[in-house]
Structure 1
Amino acid sequence: MSMEHTQDFMPHGYCISWDVPLLTLHVLSDFFIALAYFSIPVGIIYFVSKKDDVTFKPVYYLFAAFILACGITHLMGIITLWLPVYYLAGVFKLLTAIVSVATAIYLIPKLSDMVALPELNELLLLNKKLTDENHSRKKAEMELEQSRAKLAESNKMLSTVLDAIPVRVFWKNHDLEFQGVNRVLLEDAGMNDVSEIIGKTDYQLPWADFADKYKKDDEAILDSGRSMLQIEEELVDRSGNRLWAKTNKVPLLNDNNEVIGVLGTFEDITQSKLAEQEVIVAKEQAEQANIAKSEFLANMSHELRTPLNGVIGTLNLLAETSLNARQSNLVNISKHSAESLFGLLNDVLDLSKIESGKLELEYHNEDLDELLAEVARGMAGRAEEKGLELLCPAHFMSSCVAKVDRLRLRQILNNLIGNALKFTEKGSITVDMTVIKKTMPEATLRFSISDTGMGISEHDQTLLFERFRQLDGSSTRPQTGSGLGLAICRELVELMGGRIGVSSTLGQDSTFWFEITTELVNRKAQPHQDSSLAGMSVIVLAENPTYKRYFADLLANWSVQHEIADSIDLFQEILFEHHHDQTCVLIMETDYFLNLDITALLSQLTFDVRFLLMTSQSQLTQVPEKTEQYDCILLAKPLMQSEVFNALVGLRKDMPTEHFKHSVKPVENAQFKDTKILLVEDNSTNIIVAKGLIQMYGPTVEVAENGELALKMLSKQRFDLVFMDCQMPVMDGYECTRLIRSEESSVINHRIPIIALTANAMRGDREACLAAGMDDYISKPVEAGTIHQMLKKWLAQEDITQGDLPKMDESLESATPVFDKANYSSRLMDDDNLMKQVALNFVADMPLQLEKLNGILVSEDYEQLAAQAHKLKGAASNMAAEQMYDLAVEFELAAKEHVMERLTALYPMLMQAFEQLRDELDEELGLET
């Protein structure tokens, strides 16, 4: 069939009614429409071909075919203007219709999906978002890359650090497989690369022998999540050497805090372990050496002090005989030299005791007034020999009773005063004490010793308290002494918890001082004004500023009318202007008195005058005849306020005038004439000395040269007391005492008092003697006063035979008072009501405490016995019950030593002491209990 169809159709191009412009309009319009329709499919096809992710591709292709078909129909519209190919145009229209219908059929079901597609704005926003995310991703990738680089650098640095440190480091996973180690541990495993150890367990490494132990620790950490630190354990290196390591293990956690492994470090401490073992060995050797040193010191103390004891004791005995002046002088020189040597020995021993920690302080209630006066009086002779004035005004202003170690405090004061005497050529030395801080019941006391010597440079002051230090040749002070005195003072003060120092100016003077904090027991009762001093008038002649201040304070405190002159002219002026009907006491030094024309002076006065003269120790022993002609009382310097008060009272009340002299009281030779003493001593010199001192008081003395002989003599004869040396051949004093106390021995009296005599000066000597069963303790050199004290203390008791309790009435007869009323009264400020109230409470409570003690005694609980005795001791001390206090002290010590026999004997003595105390309280305080 021909595509053309000319019948009844005329091509429009030939139509007369179509003018040229209209024809042109149709041709151009269809042409450009066809051109556009042909280009659009090309673009669509190109777009789809370039986009793999385009959805609904068939729609694009159908639209492209539809537009292309439309373009053909428009092109056929142009052709059919001149060619009558209407069938062909119809075919293309049909094709266009088919494509359109197909597109519609395909498109309509897809419309919902297509509608769901985002709009352009959304696509643009999404595109922007994607662009931003892409940018961020690239930035993050860059940062990640940088972080990876830094991490790699850090890992490398960490690896370098881990490899550099000597400590082994490892970490394991949950299966306890190694995930990493440092170089040191890798070498221990005998490997070269970390990859060789990763994945292995302890069982596969050189320390497999310890794998079970390590696994147990690791599993404990995995299970508990807790660290295990500072574990000391063994391991083995690749050479099979055993090492000691200090291990620390901690759990490894993930982000959820779940334990995923174990991190550990361990340090090779083999060398420190070996050093530790060496230290232990060295410590044991040092302890053995220290024990040997202590034993050596004890033995040397005995060996050195024993002959010195003999020398000093013999000289003391010799001094008691009739000697001419030259002989007496030689004896004194010998005694002074021996005592100096003895003092040096004590310094060396004290220093050794301090170094070894064997020096122990013993605190007791002490009257500091008396203590300072005793020390000053003891040094006054040396001061007088050098023409120095020794002043001690402290006790008037600071009188008190305090808990101190009397022996060591005296030692410090003696050393410092002796040091001042040594380096002072003229002037005076002042011993002073002040309370610088008081928080009752404690107080801080400051002791000072000032001299008018040559002074000390600042450089030398820094060296004074060092051991073995003496001032060098550039110092103005000569180099004398051992260099130990001040060092020992520092050690003792520091042992007391105090401090010591010096203030000095070169070429002028020096003040040595020390401060200690102690417990004030009570303020010592001071003499006070009463009718004894009423109306008394005193004139003091004193050039020394210290004495002027001393008497001004003292007399004002007693409300005594007084005037003080610092020259003879002023003294006479005051005296002649004085008008008084009562006695006037003139206080001056003996030298002033001797230089005055007393007779002429008294002739010009219209009132009664008496004299209180301050004198030296030597003048007391040779009283000037002139003082016998007048009413005079002589007081030795340094003065004590109690003596001044008593002297004034005596002068005021027309009491018989007496000279206050310090002389040895005559010995009561017959006091113990019926007593039999056994002296157990092996040294012949000491036998002579001790026997002579004991016989001064009347006893009969027999000697046994060792413990074995002593046992034989005690088995055959009855003795009243034993003086027992501790170190002797054949059998020493300790063993001898133990056998005497044993019920199996054949001695007549198992409970005979035994007094230890020992030259040892080490801590624990007294305890060792008491532990052996001795009753008391004397340290050599033995002095007459100490022997007399022991005789009075122990011979006042009747012998206690085996199985018999002591008779209380006789056993408590001693020099120790049952009740010290003066002490008790001053402690409670003379308040009668308070004294009665406290005493009544004591009397009511003490039977209960003693009953409690008896109950504990039955149970034999030594610890509780000591505690209860300590309680009784404190109660007795507060009541000034001296006998009960002493017995409680012995009871406490016997409890600590577990000596039941002694405890059983002491209990009834305590009961009897309490009964006697109650009787005295009734009598003294009117308790009517």
Structure 2
Amino acid sequence: MSMEHTQDFMPHGYCISWDVPLLTLHVLSDFFIALAYFSIPVGIIYFVSKKDDVTFKPVYYLFAAFILACGITHLMGIITLWLPVYYLAGVFKLLTAIVSVATAIYLIPKLSDMVALPELNELLLLNKKLTDENQSRKKAEMALEQSRTKLAETNKMLSTVLDAIPVRVFWKNHDLEFQGVNRVLLEDAGMNDVSEIIGKTDYQLPWADFADKYKKDDKAVLDSGRSMLQIEEELVDRNGNRLWAKTNKVPLLNDKNEVIGVLGTFEDITQAKIAEQELIVAKEQAEQANIAKSQFLANMSHELRTPLNGVIGTLNLLAATSLNARQSNLVNISKHSAESLFGLLNDVLDLSKIESGKLELEYHNEDLDELLAEVARGMAGRAEEKGLELLCPAHFMSSCVAKVDRLRLRQILNNLIGNALKFTEKGSITVDMTVIKKTMPEATLRFSISDTGVGISEHDQALLFERFKQLDGSSTRPQAGSGLGLAICRQLVELMGGRIGVSSTLGQGSTFWFEITTELVNRKGQPHQDSSLAGMSVIVLAENPTYKRYFADLLANWSVQHEIADSIDLFKEILFEHHHDQTCVLIMETDYFLNLDITALLSQLTFDVRFLLMTSQSQLTQVPEKTQQHDCILLAKPLMQSEVFNALVGLRNDMPTKQLQQPIKPVENAQFKDRKILLVEDNSTNIIVAKGLIQMYGPTVEVAENGELALNILSKQRFDLIFMDCQMPVMDGYECTRLIRSEEASVINHRIPIIALTANAMRGDREACLAAGMDDYISKPVDADTIHQMLKKWLAQEDITQGELPIMDESLESTTPVFDKANYSSRLMDDDNLMKQVALNFVADMPQQLEKLNEMIASEDYEQLAAQAHKLKGAASNMAAEQMHDLAVEFELATKEHVMERVAALYPMLMQAFDQLRDELDKELGLDT
């Protein structure tokens, strides 16, 4: 404290008024400043030493030295209060000044760089960004790891799939070095590990012998970038065995669609090739067998149809003679039955239909009442033999004329009725038809055949319509069959757009039914629309409930006064109570009539009676004498409504004869009496039939029994027409026709019309006949109408000179329709507007096409003529212009044979056919052309 109170101080400005508090203040402040100045540099130096990334380190060190020097200066300030070491204090101040100046000198140039240093916020943002990037990097690394795992799994799965593929799989790089193969290839190559093949080329592997070919194929894929697929080739394996392989090679692409390699598969198809060769051999054998079968069927067609032709032809001749009602009925039944057999035979022999499962339906207007009765009458004999009652139709049917395929409908009905007869031992079979839905002009018809037979279980009903399914498969079954009948019925019904079924109870009979939708056609003059029976009186004796209902509906519909008795006693009671001025008709079965004392019965009556007797087929052939003693008309069961009507009209008008219809008079037609016809036929029955039918129209007929005899006759005599059988001994009709057309033959008239007359039913026969040079075609059995049409068609002109052929005018009235509207409408989906538009285009274009044809005839350009005729044939076919189509076919054949006379003769026929077609189109479609 002595120093504090001494006055011996170096003079300072603030020491002029020195005192103890002031001194203490300065000492303490300088001391703590110096202490702080000494500690700050220590902290700075420690910080810089720990931070390697500190920028501008010299600044930190200079700043630390500056602060340290400042601290010494303050410390010297305390010391110099008492010690006069002013030089030392000055030195430290100088040192401080030097450090300060050095710091300033160093710092000033660095200021711009230091100013550019980021601020704290920026550093924080950068820090956050770095943190985020670090997290993203970690996520990416995790995703990469997952991808690697998934890729490994995919590769494993792909490897498994490739190894499971039963063909060799491989892939190569652009240098054609293998980059991978599947297990199959590895095993086939006899290798154990994929490393034995990876990186190698085909030249370094066991199949080096084929390396050149493989390289060529691989390079083609690499260079073109296109695949080579399904390449079959024959190879030799390493053991010398020949094998067949199927190879596929496709280019491998990178993400830039650049080809970087080839992927291929190699499949051993040796066994398949062996099987294919065996199949080819089997196919050839099958084709040979099929040809043999077709030839057999063609021959059998002739052999089967020839006697059947004789039967039908003889029946046609017989029908054209004077017959009474019974005889006419028998002839008609025989004829209808034979025609049904003939139609069925056609289907069996037509391989193209049967094997394809397609049948062509031909729709015509048919009276279904008459059709049903005809079918039933054909089966009536079998029913009588078994003691069964065959009822058809089961109720009165309003006259129903509909567009149906008569042959197919008869086939279905015959099959179903025959089936019912087969399995019914007692009772009756009822054939019925009802209209279940009518939306004019269409209606849905339901046909049913009910029997009182054994019935069918539910289990067996499900099998009925399958092929070759029979209810009793035992070898001792009483009723044999192929098991095809009901299956054929189903196919036919479905082809008609209908459906078929059965309802049955075992032991209680069955009802087979089918439904078809068809077009109803109005027909004038139907019995039920006639009023000529109004007021007539009829008494019916019928115990059968079906007949009772049938006559009640039928007679009521015709406005006939009637009463029904179901017993003889009731019948007599009604008869004796009857009081009427007009004649009364009594309807009953023949057996009732024979059991009654008719003479005694009539003696008790005060009015006239006549009898309409329902009789069996057998009774109709041997009419009981008793029926001839009274006014009786016999009608065979099953009844036809039209026959019942005609019988009642006949009885009312006091028909003097005891028959329903007058004898049929022979045809008297001398239209062709000056013509000579040559019939070339070898079968004696067919000669009688054909000759008789031709002579009905007046021509003189000469017969040659084979083609050779025909040529001999034609070289000596002139004929107007030839009917030529196709299959004959010595020389057939085809060869004979070719020789007649040939200029080398010595016949008088090479261009005489020749009509094919054949028993063949196979498709293509017509074309074969025309190709041989024949002019027209008749498929046996022939009938009077067909013969007449042919005679009119080819003998219509008065003058036919040698080498000339008839030009049809009225002769175009052939059986071939001018326009098949039903076919045309069906193909155009019944679209009236479309039908008219197509027809208008046809009518507008055809004159130009025919004119082109005429110009080509003038130039005799056969090649162009054939092409134009083919075009006309197609156009006519599209229009369903049947006559034009047939003429175009003949025209085309004539041009191909270079027969210009025939070509020139056919052209006016085509013109006339077009004119008739145009008139028909105006009439049917209302074109107003």
Please classify the TM superposition score into its range, dividing by the shorter chain length. 0.7 to 0.9
Aligned-partner Cα distance in 2 for 1:833–1:205? 73
**1:471, 1:477 within 8 Å by CA — same for their partners in 2?**
no
Deviation string, structure 1 residues 217-274 (Cα, Å, up to 9, x no partner): 9999999999898788999999999987777788877778888888776766666566
Aligned-partner Cα distance in 2 for 1:701–1:489? 44
Aligned-partner Cα distance in 2 for 1:927–1:18? 146
Structure 1 pair 704–450 and aligned structure 2 pair: CA distance change class (3 A): same
> What TM-score, normalized by structure 1, do the two folds share?
0.74
Shift of 1:566: 3.5
**2:796, 2:806 within 8 Å by CA — same for their partners in 1?**
no
Structure 1 pair 869–385 and aligned structure 2 pair: CA distance change class (3 A): farther
Aligned-partner Cα distance in 1 for 2:697–2:305? 25
The aligned residue for residue 91 of structure 1 is 91
Deviation string, structure 1 residues 594-647 (Cα, Å, up to 9, x no partner): 334445544555554433332223333333333334433332222222222222
Three-state SS of the structure 1 residue aligned to 2:395 is helix
- Alignment size in residue pairs: 929
Structure 1 pair 613–876 and aligned structure 2 pair: CA distance change class (3 A): farther
Deviation string, structure 1 residues 29-65 (Cα, Å, up to 9, x no partner): 5555445444433443343334333222222222222
**1:188, 1:238 within 8 Å by CA — same for their partners in 2?**
no
Shift of 1:454: 1.8
**2:682, 2:706 within 8 Å by CA — same for their partners in 1?**
yes
Aligned-partner Cα distance in 2 for 1:530–1:4? 169
Structure 1 pair 48–638 and aligned structure 2 pair: CA distance change class (3 A): same
Report the more deviating stretch, 823-832 or 563-572: 823-832
Structure 1 pair 228–437 and aligned structure 2 pair: CA distance change class (3 A): farther
The aligned residue for residue 148 of structure 1 is 148
Shift of 1:354: 1.2
Structure 1 pair 887–384 and aligned structure 2 pair: CA distance change class (3 A): farther
Aligned-partner Cα distance in 1 for 2:87–2:847? 152
**2:320, 2:666 within 8 Å by CA — same for their partners in 1?**
no
How do 1:697-716 residues align onto structure 2 when only pairs under 5 Å count? 704-716=704-716
Structure 1 pair 158–116 and aligned structure 2 pair: CA distance change class (3 A): same
The aligned residue for residue 816 of structure 1 is 816
Shift of 1:94: 1.9
Aligned-partner Cα distance in 2 for 1:335–1:872? 40
Aligned-partner Cα distance in 1 for 2:658–2:740? 51
Aligned-partner Cα distance in 2 for 1:220–1:35? 92
Aligned-partner Cα distance in 2 for 1:928–1:297? 49
**1:750, 1:801 within 8 Å by CA — same for their partners in 2?**
no
Structure 1 pair 83–706 and aligned structure 2 pair: CA distance change class (3 A): farther
Three-state SS of the structure 2 residue aligned to 1:150 is helix
**2:628, 2:658 within 8 Å by CA — same for their partners in 1?**
no
Three-state SS of the structure 2 residue aligned to 1:514 is strand
Structure 1 pair 115–317 and aligned structure 2 pair: CA distance change class (3 A): closer
Structure 1 pair 96–857 and aligned structure 2 pair: CA distance change class (3 A): same
Deviation string, structure 1 residues 678-708 (Cα, Å, up to 9, x no partner): 5545567877888899899998876544322
Aligned-partner Cα distance in 1 for 2:506–2:553? 32
Shift of 1:98: 1.9
The aligned residue for residue 694 of structure 2 is 694
Three-state SS of the structure 2 residue aligned to 1:4 is helix
Structure 1 pair 321–927 and aligned structure 2 pair: CA distance change class (3 A): closer
The aligned residue for residue 414 of structure 2 is 414
Shift of 1:411: 3.1
Structure 1 pair 619–862 and aligned structure 2 pair: CA distance change class (3 A): farther
Structure 1 pair 234–37 and aligned structure 2 pair: CA distance change class (3 A): farther
Report the more deviating stretch, 150-159 or 743-752: 743-752
Shift of 1:453: 1.9
**2:804, 2:901 within 8 Å by CA — same for their partners in 1?**
no
Structure 1 pair 872–326 and aligned structure 2 pair: CA distance change class (3 A): closer
Structure 1 pair 339–453 and aligned structure 2 pair: CA distance change class (3 A): farther
Aligned-partner Cα distance in 2 for 1:919–1:41? 129
Aligned-partner Cα distance in 2 for 1:75–1:463? 130
**1:398, 1:434 within 8 Å by CA — same for their partners in 2?**
no
**1:471, 1:478 within 8 Å by CA — same for their partners in 2?**
no
Shift of 1:111: 3.7
Shift of 1:294: 1.0
Structure 1 pair 614–731 and aligned structure 2 pair: CA distance change class (3 A): same
Shift of 1:516: 4.7
Three-state SS of the structure 2 residue aligned to 1:248 is strand
Aligned-partner Cα distance in 2 for 1:159–1:340? 70
Structure 1 pair 746–654 and aligned structure 2 pair: CA distance change class (3 A): same
**1:233, 1:244 within 8 Å by CA — same for their partners in 2?**
yes
Stretches of structure 1 lacking an aligned partner (at least 5 in a row): none
Report the more deviating stretch, 767-776 or 203-212: 203-212
Shift of 1:732: 1.9
**1:650, 1:657 within 8 Å by CA — same for their partners in 2?**
no
Structure 1 pair 396–354 and aligned structure 2 pair: CA distance change class (3 A): farther
Structure 1 pair 285–813 and aligned structure 2 pair: CA distance change class (3 A): closer
Structure 1 pair 446–295 and aligned structure 2 pair: CA distance change class (3 A): farther
Report the more deviating stretch, 329-338 or 55-64: 329-338
Structure 1 pair 816–349 and aligned structure 2 pair: CA distance change class (3 A): closer
Aligned-partner Cα distance in 1 for 2:836–2:85? 158
Three-state SS of the structure 1 residue aligned to 2:72 is helix
Does residue 549 (structure 1) correspond to residue 556 (structure 2)? The answer is no
Structure 1 pair 641–519 and aligned structure 2 pair: CA distance change class (3 A): same
Structure 1 pair 323–838 and aligned structure 2 pair: CA distance change class (3 A): closer
Aligned-partner Cα distance in 2 for 1:107–1:573? 156
Shift of 1:559: 3.6
**2:529, 2:558 within 8 Å by CA — same for their partners in 1?**
yes
> What TM-score, normalized by structure 2, do the two folds share?
0.74
Structure 1 pair 267–630 and aligned structure 2 pair: CA distance change class (3 A): same
Three-state SS of the structure 2 residue aligned to 1:232 is strand
Three-state SS of the structure 1 residue aligned to 2:528 is coil
Aligned-partner Cα distance in 1 for 2:322–2:645? 37
**1:796, 1:814 within 8 Å by CA — same for their partners in 2?**
no
Structure 1 pair 267–316 and aligned structure 2 pair: CA distance change class (3 A): same
**1:797, 1:812 within 8 Å by CA — same for their partners in 2?**
no
Aligned-partner Cα distance in 2 for 1:830–1:242? 62
Report the more deviating stretch, 622-631 or 695-704: 695-704
Shift of 1:551: 3.0
Deviation string, structure 1 residues 804-840 (Cα, Å, up to 9, x no partner): 3449799799999999999999999999999999999
Deviation string, structure 1 residues 738-795 (Cα, Å, up to 9, x no partner): 3234454322344556555545443333443344344666667889999899889988
Deviation string, structure 1 residues 339-359 (Cα, Å, up to 9, x no partner): 999999888657896136697
**1:350, 1:359 within 8 Å by CA — same for their partners in 2?**
no
**1:5, 1:87 within 8 Å by CA — same for their partners in 2?**
no
Structure 1 pair 246–692 and aligned structure 2 pair: CA distance change class (3 A): same
**1:792, 1:815 within 8 Å by CA — same for their partners in 2?**
no
Aligned-partner Cα distance in 2 for 1:798–1:468? 59
**2:333, 2:377 within 8 Å by CA — same for their partners in 1?**
no
Structure 1 pair 34–196 and aligned structure 2 pair: CA distance change class (3 A): farther
**2:322, 2:665 within 8 Å by CA — same for their partners in 1?**
no
Stretches of structure 2 lacking an aligned partner (at least 5 in a row): none
Structure 1 pair 462–770 and aligned structure 2 pair: CA distance change class (3 A): farther
**1:752, 1:800 within 8 Å by CA — same for their partners in 2?**
no
Shift of 1:511: 2.6
Report the more deviating stretch, 695-704 or 420-429: 695-704
Deviation string, structure 1 residues 458-502 (Cα, Å, up to 9, x no partner): 343344444454432679973324444444444544555555443
Three-state SS of the structure 2 residue aligned to 1:713 is helix
Does residue 590 (structure 1) correspond to residue 590 (structure 2)? The answer is yes
Three-state SS of the structure 1 residue aligned to 2:849 is helix
Aligned-partner Cα distance in 1 for 2:162–2:921? 85
Shift of 1:915: 12
**2:417, 2:449 within 8 Å by CA — same for their partners in 1?**
yes
Shift of 1:128: 4.0
Aligned-partner Cα distance in 1 for 2:247–2:274? 17
Structure 1 pair 832–683 and aligned structure 2 pair: CA distance change class (3 A): closer
Structure 1 pair 781–582 and aligned structure 2 pair: CA distance change class (3 A): closer
Aligned-partner Cα distance in 1 for 2:824–2:170? 77
**2:396, 2:551 within 8 Å by CA — same for their partners in 1?**
no
Report the more deviating stretch, 332-341 or 793-802: 332-341
Root-mean-square deviation (CA, aligned residues, Å) is 7.7
Aligned-partner Cα distance in 1 for 2:875–2:795? 27
Aligned-partner Cα distance in 1 for 2:879–2:14? 162
